[in-house]
A = this chain, B = another copy of it.
Amino acid sequence: MRFAIYVRQHDNGEVEFLSREPNVMYVGRKPPMDYVLGILTGFSGSNAKEVTLKARGQSITTAVDAVEITRHRFMKDLRISKIAIGTEEMPPREGESRPRNVSTIEITLTKETKPNEEAKAMQEAQATKEKAASSQM
């Protein structure tokens, strides 16, 4: 998970750190529960009111899964404030000459929960993940 910090420079040269620093999480090939924990962790910071998930190609489905699991099982008051889709140009695969176009999704989540509730939800999510891992063995 990476975090983005937003800075704005005014005409008089003064630099302002914007108070709302959106957490950005890149969704890849891990199981959805990993990103569920990522979302809950993102919201557990004292100032975090927003988490953005970004995914490409087949991981788009994983991103949607993670959001749906989080809001149905762990954070009932999670709001989806924005969904945007787009296209990104990727370098050609081995043996190919043309760049590939890959679809992307960006899902922004906002919360209205109190910090205590996230801590509880995170414990539950961790237990679910461990249970799932042990049942696969």
Contacts and interface: CB of A to CB of B under 8 A. Distances in A.
Nearest to A32: B103
Given A80-B85, A83-B85, A85-B67, A103 B61 contact: yes
A103 B58 contact: no
Interface size range of chain A in the complex: 10 to 19
Interface in A56-107: 57-58, 60-61, 64-65, 67-68, 72, 80, 83-87, 101, 103, 105, 107
Contact of A87 (B61, B68, B83, B101): B68
Contact of A103 (B57, B65, B85): B65
Interface of A: 57-58, 60-61, 64-65, 67-68, 72, 80, 83-87, 101, 103, 105, 107
23 contacts: A57-B61, A58-B58, A58-B61, A60-B60, A60-B61, A60-B64, A61-B61, A61-B103, A64-B103, A64-B105, A65-B103, A67-B85, A68-B85, A68-B86, A68-B87, A68-B101, A68-B103, A72-B87, A72-B101, A80-B85, A83-B83, A83-B85, A85-B107
Copies in the complex: 2
Contacts of A101: 68, 72
A89 to B, nearest CB: 11
